[in-house]
Each structure stands twice: as C-alpha cells, then as structure tokens.
Amino acid sequence: MIEKVGVIGAGQMGSGIAQVCAVAGLSVAISDINAEQLAKSLANIAKNLDRQIAKGKLTEPEKDAAMARIATSTDLSIFKDSDLVVEAATESEDVKRLILKALVPNLPPKAMIATNTSSISITRLAASTDRPEKFIGMHFMNPVPVMQLVEIIRGIATDDDTFQSIKALTARLGKTAAIAEDFPAFIVNRILLPMINEAVYTLYEGVGGVEAIDTAMKLGANHPMGPLELADFIGLDTCLSIMQVLYEGLADSKYRPCPLMVKYVEAGWLGRKVGRGFYDYSGPTPRPTR
C-alpha cells in the first residue's frame, strides 16, 4: 500500500502531483534543485486549495491538513521512507538519468519509482536504476488537479505488483487510467504533439496568425484551448523535447520539429511559465506575438 509519495521536480507538474496526493491523504515529500522553486510550489498549491475553498469544494481544515502533509527539501535524503517516488523534472533524458542515479542510494529497497515523462522510453530510464522491475511510467496530464487521465506505461521489466499498485494509486487519486505501450510519446502525445507542431508550421508558413489559428481550432473543432495557447501552457521546451523523441525514436520525417518552435526555445520564449511564448503574458490579457 502506497502511503508516502516523493516527487522530484517542483515545476507545474510536480506541484500538481504533490497537490492531488496530499489532498487524497498521502504524505508527500517534494525535492527540487532550486529552493526558490520549492517555495513557489508550496505557494501555488496553497493558492489552488484556496480556490477550491472559495468554490465550496474543500474546507479550511482540509486544506491545512493537506498542506501539513507536504514536506520539501533540496536534498534527496527526504525520500528515505518513501513507498513511491514520482520523477517530474525537466523533459531531458540526460537530466532524468542523472536524477535517477542520484536517487537510488537514497531509497529504501521496497520503494517503487515512477516517471512522469511525456515521451522518453520507460525501459531506457529504468535501466538507470537498480530496480527496473519496480520502475513504471505514470503520466499525469496538465493541469493535474483538473485532468482526469493518467497514462500508465510498463517498461519491459516492470513487474505485476508495481503495475497493480500504480493502477490502485491512480484510482485513489480519483483519476482514470489508460494503459499505453512503451513507444515514443505513448498515446496522448503521439497524437497531440504532431497537431501542435503542425499548428506551429501553419504559423511559420503564414497560413494564419496566432489568434486566427487558435480561434479556428477552438471554434472550429471545439478544443478548449487553441494549439498555440496549449503549447504555451505545456511549455515550448517540453513540446520540442517530445517532438525530438518522436522524430528520433520513430525515424520518420513527419515528426520533424518546426524550425519556428526550435527558434522560440533557443530564444528562451518557453511559454506561460516564463511570461512569453506564442503569447506575451506581461499584460492583463495574453497578447499574440505574431
């Protein structure tokens, strides 16, 4: 039974995962290389829970109890009692491999490890640990507190106990599981990211401006966000990494990342999290940049 969950990476996904686990009554430990990011993450979780109180979905004592279940540290020894650690750091295989290597000596032998990677091979990441049989993909969607789905991906060595435990945890968090095989970007991003990449090509080739493309897909296909707004929301660095994994992993030119997406990432225009991407978020309402 999983009662103590660790989360590595206090970005938008790590914070969301920590929030839903704490609200579900689990004890949560979050670690990030950046202490400031840990403070921001706690403030964000508190703000989200306040919003739920304002809507009558949570009480003040429930919020206080959830916040009291969350501990933070820049030191991986915070995971010494964890039953499960969910890795949710930057979408880079090199970064994740280094984290996993450093994590393993800090874990009890019984602990499982899940990765929230959007695209990278679970089998390859598992090979960076001492316990590939206890390693699994647990892919939450953004924003975690709102989105219903968790993709569960077994690596070649993942055992049945780990798979069943993660399925049970997904249900305990109030989420629905979809099981995907360990292919580049799994199911959701295999389909979603080529659409976002195509939207960036549509912009790059001048077929439409940012606003026209997003309006077209929101009103023409009933998407809750336009593809460029969604790209900014996900993070353009994450979008580009996923396209690179698809391009290299499936060796098909149809997954070639749009050069405009590459340029935006090179410029540091990573989307909402830095205040600029296909929209400029510095004013009261987002302003299209093209």
Q: Show which residues are catalytic.
A: 118, 139, 151, 189
Question: Nearer to ligand NDP by C-beta: 12 or 165?
Answer: 12
Joined together, the tokens standing for residue 72 give: 């933070």
Question: Could you tell me the smallest distance in angstroms from the CB atom of residue 237 to ligand CAA?
Answer: 11
CA end-to-end distance (rounded Å), the chain:
51
Binding flag, residue 263, ligand CAA (CB under 6 A)? no
Q: Which does 225 bind (CB under 5 to 8 A by kind): ligand CAA, ligand NDP, none?
A: ligand CAA
Q: Which does 129 bind (CB under 5 to 8 A by kind): ligand CAA, ligand NDP, none?
A: none
Cis peptide bond N-terminal to 143, omega within 30: yes
Question: Nearer to ligand CAA by C-beta: 102 or 191?
Answer: 191
Question: Could you tell me the smallest distance in angstroms from the CB atom of residue 56 to ligand NDP?
Answer: 28
Among the listed residues 8, 17, 234, 246, the single contact to ligand CAA using CB under 6 A: 234
Q: Between residue 138 and residue 197, which ones bind ligand CAA under the rule CB under 6 A?
A: 141-143, 145-147, 188-189, 192
Output the CA–CA distances (angstroms, integers) from residue 80 to 40, 51, 161, 184, 221, in the order listed.
Answer: 24, 33, 21, 32, 48
Half-sphere exposure of 39 (CA within 13 A, CB side): 3
* Interface residue list for ligand CAA (CB under 6 A): 48, 51, 55, 57, 118, 141-143, 145-147, 188-189, 192, 224-225, 230, 234, 238
